[in-house]
Amino acid sequence: MITAGMPRKPGQTRDFLFDTNAPIVARVACMVAKRAPKALVGIITNPVNAVVAVAAEAMKKAGCYDPKRLFGVTTLDVVRAEKFIGEHMNIHPYDVRIPVVGGHAGTTIVPIFSQCQPPFEGDEKCIASIVKRIQTGGDEVVKAKAGKGSATLSMAYAAARFTNALMRGLKGKACAPECAYVQSDATDAPFFSTPLSFGKDGIKKNHGLPEMNESEKKQVKVAVDALKKSAAKGVEYMKK
């Protein structure tokens, strides 16, 4: 799990961190390629949408890139979705399951409310306001911490949840699918987060895009356009 790199400050976007964090992720990915080429690698460092492509290119150069073993960690978006939906429906977040697809920044974060379990109770206006809160959850924490970093405890929880799912896969144990930002042909974007099942070699099955309503399809299209640019930025950086 790679967390090395700078967190953002109030008013900064995650993308603002690219120039500082891309070289750090590239260097750590090279070290992983050298010392643990078969590792399952989770990238937590921001901007996840672009630095996962940096790590992929670094590993390709080192001759050990395996798309089944590289993950951008987007679990915190799922955790936020479950928490805010749980609050709204007055149920425990553990009892909420919802796929959150796309990437990990602003409108690239697409919670698929039509697939929420139990079915979401609320109108379009209510969905829009919870979607906004999920998409800006990181900004909310960065603002509250006032220059002293970004989400740490909730990220620790999310990282533990995602790592446990990977480790259950390594042991051949069943686990509910978890979303992560991986190389994908689910859309035109080279990397895209969808629900995944894990096994001994990393991704065992990419469940692809869930069924979506028209509004969700539109949100995915917006995400895909942005994610193509983010991935291209990471690839371009590694050409230099």
Ligand X SMILES: O=C(O)C[C@H](O)C(=O)O
Ligand Y SMILES: NC(=O)c1ccc[n+]([C@@H]2O[C@H](COP(=O)([O-])OP(=O)(O)OC[C@H]3O[C@@H](n4cnc5c(N)ncnc54)[C@H](O)[C@@H]3O)[C@@H](O)[C@H]2O)c1
Q: Is 92 a catalytic residue?
A: no
Q: Does 8 bind ligand X (CB under 6 A)?
A: yes
The interface with ligand Y within residues 147-166 (CB under 6 A) comprises: 149-152, 155
Task: Specify the length of the chain in residues.
Answer: 240
> Which residue lies nearer to ligand Y by CB, 17 or 32?
17
- What is the Cα–Cα distance from 175 to 169, expressed in whole angstroms? 7
141's contact among ligand X, ligand Y, none, with CB below 5 to 8 A by partner kind, is ligand X
Tokens of 115: 């697939």
**Nearest-approach distance from CB 174 to ligand X, in angstroms:** 28
Distance of CA 238 to the CA centre of its chain: 21
Among 40, 56, 73, 100, binds ligand Y (CB under 6 A): 73
Q: Does 46 bind ligand Y (CB under 6 A)?
A: yes
Contact indicator for 104, 48 with CB cutoff of 8 Å? yes
Within 10 angstroms of residue 144's Cβ, the number of other Cβ atoms is 11
> Which residue lies nearer to ligand X by CB, 33 or 134?
134
Q: What is the 3-state secondary structure (H, E, C) of 95-163?
A: HCECCEEECCCHHHEEECHHHCECCCCCCHHHHHHHHHHHHCHHHHHHHHHCCCCCCCHHHHHHHHHHH
> Which residue lies nearer to ligand Y by CB, 15 or 216?
15
Among 131, 151, 179, 180, binds ligand X (CB under 6 A): 151
Closest CA to 203 of 188, 185, 229: 185
**Binding letters toward ligand Y, positions 182-221, x by CB under 6 A:** ----------------------------------------
Q: Does 141 bind ligand X (CB under 6 A)?
A: yes
Catalytic residues: 104
